[in-house]
Structure 1
């Protein structure tokens, strides 16, 4: 038998014998030691609590265009279904004949008033040119009456001039009002997009314009609706594809999509706005939606199963310098098998994967021998005496 095999067998026998002796010895420290089969370390990482649902792409904007018969008669469409249009593009015209006729009538009446005003202004100038002697005797009754008559005529003429000026001003306002309507006798697109539909029978909306940019629409259950809020981060993934896009919740409806029924769960619409414009993304494309409900950056985390829960008190079992220390912690976000530690633990600290059982104090611990991790080069160059010395030291370190 080779010497290495003899050393290994001897070490194994010595290990078993030493452990049995220490285990059954009175007041043995090993009896108060804890076996820790698995351990881990506190890590710093970003964690997110997410919720998955489904959605479908839809136009980011939609402009319904209405025909208003009060503006005039319809003159015809200037766009076709499927045509791409820019903001400001004329979609259709109204007839302007009625408006132009109304302006002509108002301008004719205004011209008549202006002629009357010119005549009165000439009369007023003539009355002012009449020269009379203010030093005339009050005994000259005939002259005095004549002077009073001129003054009254001046006053009446001035009143009539003011009235005509006011009337002419009203006509100006009416004409200006109709002039403002003339540019409105054409309907234009307010957005850059595509003509989605045209109703040739002039039923409203007579034209619908949709933007080429997309958003995402979906439905939430009653339980989900209360947990989703506008502004939450969203990742959108195209179905059967690896392409993903970032966005955020734009709106969550407070009223169900359909009329509520007692025996049927309600569904609530929600919309997602994408951060960037996606080229060539057809409306109606099905997508997977992942909503980030909560997120913590640079969180200290441990396995959720490592937490010992006793009422409101939560603890972990820290392994340090061969001792076990039960340490109280304050927990935060819990996501799947990961638990955030807000207070009581630092990154890199070693702890047991599962809660440990002991009465008090800080007992020592021992872990399983990792035989599979032994390699020949670990002991190949070690002298026999040194190997035995180290093995004995390890066995008796309890």
Structure 2
């Protein structure tokens, strides 16, 4: 065998040994990975089982401020569930200087200003007549005259309806004659009694007859008077329910009369606003159907019976209506001033950010966004009254307020 053949054989043997060694070196880590992949869940499962029924404490790895807690006591969580968010801070709670490479968020800012503000609540209401009366027949008979029309103005005492009185006039005349005769007989009986010409029993009979005839006369007289129905007050004929020629009967409605020289405004007031209203002497309101013209009326009273459907109490406002502009049935919007402020903070609605259980916004503080939780009051137009959380002079982040978070680096571009 030659030297070359020996060398070739040695090289082949060496190569085989190298390949074998490489395969062993490569297979060892793979095997370890496979083993760990199989064992880790088993170990975790055993750890969980070993800790079942016992609290497991999650420890912070540094200083920080808890921003949000995403679970509550008793919630069931699974592996990978986010429990809370933590912002890293210094030991004293201050935010550490950020990496100079942090990108600043571009925002616009404006200074919060205070101004006078009336906390006004607008409540719907309806106008009603100051006085109204249904005119009804109290006797039976044919309606002879009923010439007024709906919308006519009448004065107190004006005749509205005439009912045929001929039968009542005859009865009245007869009752009058019978009364005169009974009176004459009673007077003669008294004279005879004084001279003992008749006994007391006969005298009492004459007396009773006289009293009966007197009552009958008054009854017929009243019926005769009821043949003419007059206006009980100055007002307007709102509705007619009958016409001339019809037969009237007791209780039959003939017309409705209303007085609108003054009117009432009936407004539903929520329970929480009653205390504010009691302090008022005058209340303003607008009438949409009159181009939102504003009127003012006098606060009269609050009816103590709640309107069940609206969960509100009727508030009565009395208004002069000599111009006759206000008509029953018109809808109004009453303006109730609950409180007045001299230096109130008002924000546009879009500057207030709604959270899960809070409202907030952001101000700029030392080049960074700072979250402010807000206590809000009433909404008016497109603004909201801020009761707490902002004060005049604060630098409010305007545009870009929904792009920042508490502590974000910001750059003012206005």
Query: TM (normalized to structure 1)?
Result: 0.50
Structure 1 residue 357, shift from structure 2 partner = 1.0
- Is 1:352 the equivalent of 2:397? yes
- How far, CA to CA, are the matches of 1:164 and 1:288 in structure 2? 66
* Distance of aligned partners of 1:367 and 1:335 in 2 relative to their CA distance in 1, 3 Å threshold: same
Residue ranges of structure 1 left out of the alignment (5+ in a row): 1-25, 125-155, 218-223, 257-269, 371-398
RMSD of aligned alpha carbons:
5.6
Question: Which among 286, 291, 294 is matched to residue 235 of structure 1?
Answer: 286
CA contact (8 A) 2:263 2:318 kept: yes
Aligned CA distance change for structure 1 residues 100 and 169 (closer, same or farther; 3 Å)? same
Shift of 1:184: 4.0
Match of 1:279 in 2: 323
* Unpaired segments ≥5 residues, structure 2: 1-96, 278-282
Kept in 2, the 8 Å contact 1:234–1:272? The answer is: no
**Alignment-derived partner of residue 77 in structure 2:** none
1:106 to 179, 184, 196: 179
| SS of equivalent residue, structure 2 residue 288 | strand
CA distance in 2, matches of 1:30, 1:248: 67
Which position in structure 2 is the counterpart of 1:150? none
Name the residue aligned to 1:39: 110
Counterpart selection for 2:231 from 169, 182, 189:
189
**Contact 1:214–1:283 (Cα < 8 Å) also in 2:** no
Encode CA deviations 1:371-396: one digit per residue, 9 max, x unaligned.
Answer: xxxxxxxxxxxxxxxxxxxxxxxxxx
Residue from 89, 108, 116 that aligns with 2:158: 89
Structure 1 245/294 Cα, relative in aligned 2: closer, same or farther at 3 Å?
closer
Change in Cα spacing, 1:165 to 1:278, as seen in structure 2 (3 Å) is closer
Structure with greater strand share of residues: 2
Q: CA deviation at 1:364?
A: 7.9
Q: 1:66 to 1:271 in 2, by over 3 A?
A: farther
Q: Is the 8 A contact 1:67 1:202 kept in 2?
A: no
Give me the whole-angstrom Cα distance separating, in 1, the residues matched to 2:212 and 2:374.
81
Alignment check: 8 A CA contact 1:64 1:209 kept: yes
Assess if the C-alpha contact under 8 Å between 2:108 and 2:412 holds in 1.
yes
- Provide the C-alpha distance between the structure 2 equivalents of 1:29 and 1:276, rounded to a whole number of angstroms: 72
Give yes or no for contact 1:42–1:302 (8 Å, CA) kept in 2. no
Aligned with residue 194 of structure 2, among 101, 104, 121:
121
CA shift at 1:99, angstroms?
2.5
Change (3 A) 1:187 1:322: same
Q: Please give the secondary structure, in 1, of the residue aligned with 2:386.
A: strand
Residue pairs, 1:67-216, within 5 angstroms: 67-70=137-140, 74=143, 76-77=145-146, 83-94=152-163, 95=165, 96-97=168-169, 98-123=171-196, 157-158=199-200, 161=203, 165=207, 168-179=210-221, 183-195=225-237, 197=240, 199-202=243-246, 205-211=253-259
Q: TM-score, normalised by structure 2?
A: 0.49
Tell me, in whole angstroms, the C-alpha distance in 2 between the residues paired with 1:246 and 1:344: 36
Residue number among 371, 376, 400 corresponding to 1:331 in the alignment: 376
Aligned to 1:311: 356
Shift in CA distance, 323/210, structure 1 to aligned 2, threshold 3 Å: same
Distance in 2 separating the partners of 1:62 and 1:191: 9
Query: What's the secondary structure of 2:172's corresponding residue?
Result: helix
State the shift of 1:289 in Å: 5.2
Answer 1 or 2: which has greater helix percent.
1
Q: How many residues align?
A: 286
Deviations 1:320-340 (A, max 9, x none): 687765443322223453222
CA contact (8 A) 2:120 2:337 kept: yes
| Residues 215 and 271 in structure 1, CA contact (< 8 A), matched pair in contact too | no
Measure, in 2, the Cα distance between the counterparts of 1:27 and 1:302: 31
Please state whether the residue corresponding to 1:123 is helix, strand or coil. coil
- CA distance in 2: counterparts of 1:238 and 1:358, whole angstroms: 49
Q: Judging changes above 3 Å, is the alpha-carbon distance between structure 1 residues 120 and 244 closer, same or farther for their aligned structure 2 residues?
A: same
Deviation at 1:41, TM superposition (A): 1.4
Q: 1:300 to 1:180 in 2, by over 3 A?
A: farther
Q: Secondary structure at the match of 2:244?
A: coil
Gap change, CA 1:366 and 1:123, over 3 Å in 2: same
Which position in structure 1 is the counterpart of 2:37? none
CA offset digits 1:103-137 (Å, max 9, x no partner): 3323423432343343233218xxxxxxxxxxxxx
Task: Sort the Cα spacing of 1:308 and 1:123 in 2 relative to 1 into closer, same or farther, 3 A.
Answer: same
Give the distance between the partners of 1:314 and 1:308, measured in 2 at CA: 6
Q: 1:259 matched to which residue of 2?
A: none
